[in-house]
Chain A
Amino acid sequence: MKKPATVATARKPAPVDMRVTLGPLTLKNPVLAASGTFGYGTELQPYFDLESIGGFVSKGLSLKPRRGNAPQRTCETAAGMLNAIGLANVGVEAFLNDKLPALRHKDTVVIANVFGETRDEYVAVAKRLNGAKGLHAIELNLSCPNTERGGLAFGVSPVLIREVVADVRRAAPDLPLLVKLTPNITDIGEAARAAAEAGADILSLVNTFLGLAVDLERRRPVLDNVVGGLSGPAIKPLALYMVHKVYAATRLPIVGMGGIASAEDALEFMVAGSGAVQVGTANFYDPRAPLTVAEGMEAWCRARGIPRVQELTGTLRLPNAREQETTAG
């Protein structure tokens, strides 16, 4: 039997405002694809439209092309993977000449990830990117070993963080500056404050956790580089905790990441204090992951009548309205 056409009485779900503003940077939705998991932006175009997500962060760029480490470079672990790619990349010139032009007409935010082995290299890459047409921001990767200081990663020392962030701030004054923090440090809040004081606009966290995989039969490290960076769902609680800590430590907007594979994961990062998120390792096993996350976040908000996704940032309800510090266990 045909149903009579009646006036719809069901509430029409209100559209959700998915835009988020992080200091000088506005994204159409809170989902970015993370550096090192999305190539230079065009590789995943067969799978979804780049314009449907907030933006993406390029593979880390150095002044000259880099070969990267010898294989074996990756190893799957429980709910995650280790990688030691060795910062292989085409170099900043090839990025500007061969990669960026294909992205200029895309209505999405393009962020260049930058690293160097010395302060000078960071500065040179940032200078080269400043003013590049079609580039919206740069993200500093502080996990690169500093060859002038015995290979210590820049990001593990608040002193080095201050120096390099201030240098890059001056070298690229026109571009919003994200500083990506390493979790391999005693107090990430201290690193966050150092970056903030030196002129960072936004903090992105976390980079991978250092790890080791052992080939038992051969009694050798699985990775040629011995040590690798752990990513994937295994690190999500660790990363959430870091976001929680940094949110309490600074006033800077946060881009949170670490094992995000679903809309719920991303929303948890927002509640813990992130203004936006990055989807990384999930891109490897689901090339549509960033789109699925963005769509799912919108649906979640719509179902709960949340008009603006940005309202969720930092809404974690703490017991006794105070921060529970590290007394667990």
Chain B
Amino acid sequence: MPFDTAARILSHDALNSDHFLLTLDAPRMARASRPGQFVMLQAQPGRDPLLRRPMSVCGVAGSPPRRLQILYKVTGHGTRLLSRQPKGATLAMLGPLGNGFRLPARASGPRAAARRKGVALPRQILVAGGVGIAIFPFVAEALARLGHRPLLLFGARSARDLVGLPLFGRGRLDVKFATEDGSRGARGYVTSLLEPLLAADGPRPTLYVCGPTPMLRAVGDQAQKAGVPCQLALESQMPCGIGVCLGCVVAAADPNAVPPYPRVCTEGPVFEAGSVRP
């Protein structure tokens, strides 16, 4: 059940010139949120811009959780105004919304024992492109709780765009980088990091993907070819977030699917690769 609240900004930090980390006081929403879900966040008090912005839940903090974190990049008018909101300001926020990622079973018993003996296990692989990283700290934390140690493949234009790594609990995951300019990790796209992993023998990995649309398409295709389970978190122009405007739809891969145009906000934002054409 989503909540519509006025959330106070507890902290608002620039990670670099255009990436920001926002922490809001939102106890009910923080408690109810699951990895891969999102909130509709007002960019500033009042009606400019008119529509709220969909933002992945980056993480929750507190015990029980009461703070909700959002990592975003300034890409236009709304996010620019949002980036100017000071600590203490209050923003309307609606959430948690959407389906979130399907998470694996707890790695326990024989699997955990096998891991201790150094046997290869199905790997949970997080594939992030650019600010798509925002969705993954929450996912990584949930996977760690379930006894998994995920691998993060993080691609971006340049080393300066590889933000948010301190949000991942230390020692909870392995990381490989790819940058288009080669300034950190492999030169090129994140798909080049994934290719050898999908070709390797051993248990099939599971992929969780978030990033720009061309990357979602490329990774989704790679996963389909390799026969590997893969969940894509989509982004969309999303006026309402609650399933009534029908504005945020994506085309289903099968033109006879029901519905033919699933709503990213309600049937998504997470879809199985191959089920939609982002």
Measured CB to CB, the residues of A under 8 A from B are 36-39, 43-44, 46-47, 59, 67-68, 70-76, 79-81, 83, 85, 88, 232-233, 261, 281, 283-288
| CB-CB nearest 4 A-B residue pairs | A74-B247, A284-B240, A39-B244, A284-B239
Q: Is B142 in contact with chain A by the CB < 8 A criterion?
A: no
Nearest-neighbour CB distance to chain B for A264, whole angstroms, equals 13
Flag if A83 contacts B247 (CB, 8 Å).
yes
Closest residue to A89 on the B side, CB-wise?
A: B246
Q: Is the CB of A88 within 8 A of B261?
A: yes
A288 interface neighbour in B4, B42, B239, B240, Cβ under 8 Å: B4
- Judge if B194 is at the interface, Cβ distance under 8 Å: no
Find A75's partner among B237, B245, B259 (CB 8 Å cutoff): B237
B250 touches A81 (CB 8 A): no
Q: Are B246 and A88 in contact (CB under 8 A)?
A: yes
From residue B10, how far is it (CB to closest CB) to chain A in Å? 23
Grouping DSSP codes into helix (H, G, I), strand (E, B) and loop, the A interface class, with mixed when no group exceeds half, is loop
Which chain B residues lie closer than 8 Å to A283 at the CB level? 240, 244
> Which of B42, B48, B246, B260 counts the most A-chain CB atoms under 10 A from its CB?
B246
Evaluate contact between B243 and A47: CB separation under 8 angstroms: no
CB–CB B50/A79 < 8 A: yes
State in angstroms the CA–CA spacing of A76 and B250 once bound together.
18
A81 and B239 in contact (CB under 8 A), knowing A67-B261, A73-B249, A285-B50? yes
From B2, B51, B78, B250, A71 is in contact (CB under 8 Å) with B250
Interfacial chain B residues near A68, Cβ < 8 Å: 246, 249, 261
Which residues of the other chain, A, contact B251 by a CB distance below 8 angstroms? 70-71
B128: which A residues are within 8 A, CB to CB? none
CB of B245 within 8 A of CB of A284, answer: yes
A228 to chain B, nearest CB (A): 10
Closest approach, in angstroms, between the C-beta of A260 and any C-beta of chain B?
13
* Interchain CB contact (< 8 A) of A74 among B1, B4, B40, B237: B237
Tell me if B246 and A85 are in contact (CB < 8 A): yes
Pair B92/A286 contact, Cβ less than 8 Å: yes
* Assembled-state Cα–Cα distance A47/B241 (Å): 13
B250 touches A39 (CB 8 A): no
Asked if A73 meets B244 with Cβ closer than 8 Å, knowing A67-B260, A79-B48, the reply is no
User: A residues within 8 A CB of B94?
Assistant: 287
The answer to whether B246 touches A284 (Cβ under 8 A) is no
